[in-house]
Amino acid sequence: MALSAYQKQYKRRATKALALYTKARKQVRALVGQLVAAEQGNAAAAARTNRLNALYGTALPAATDLVADFGTSETLANLAGNQEADALLYADVADGNGGAALPTEAAFGE
């Protein structure tokens, strides 16, 4: 049986929504990976500064006022790599609205 305009519209909108979701998730993973690396670099620099202070009796600051604590590297790594891939599939949608397509909406980029 052929799909109605309503069902075709759903499939088109769902395809675009899933593509946007996938793209955004990929970007988030990349950015979290960069954040993990930056946080690890910051921790290494602070440890080195603390060690210099201990060895030489200096008072070099180990952090600046720009440093923000985003959590541990392990927490960020979990966000970046341990997410399970979502199995996003098209749901069988009932032939609602009498089979007629819904009005276009800006939220769907139409």
Judge whether residue 18 has pLDDT over 60. Answer: yes
Domain ranges of the chain: 29-82
Judge whether residue 9 has pLDDT over 80. Answer: yes
Phi/psi for 2 (5° steps) reads -70, 150
Judge whether residue 85 has pLDDT over 80. Answer: no
Phi/psi for 37 (5° steps) reads -65, -40
Cα 75 to its chain centre, rounded Å, is 14
Mean per-residue pLDDT of the chain: 76
DSSP state of 62: S
- Among candidates 25, 32, 44, 45, which has minimal Cα distance to 71? 32
pLDDT of residue 28: 92
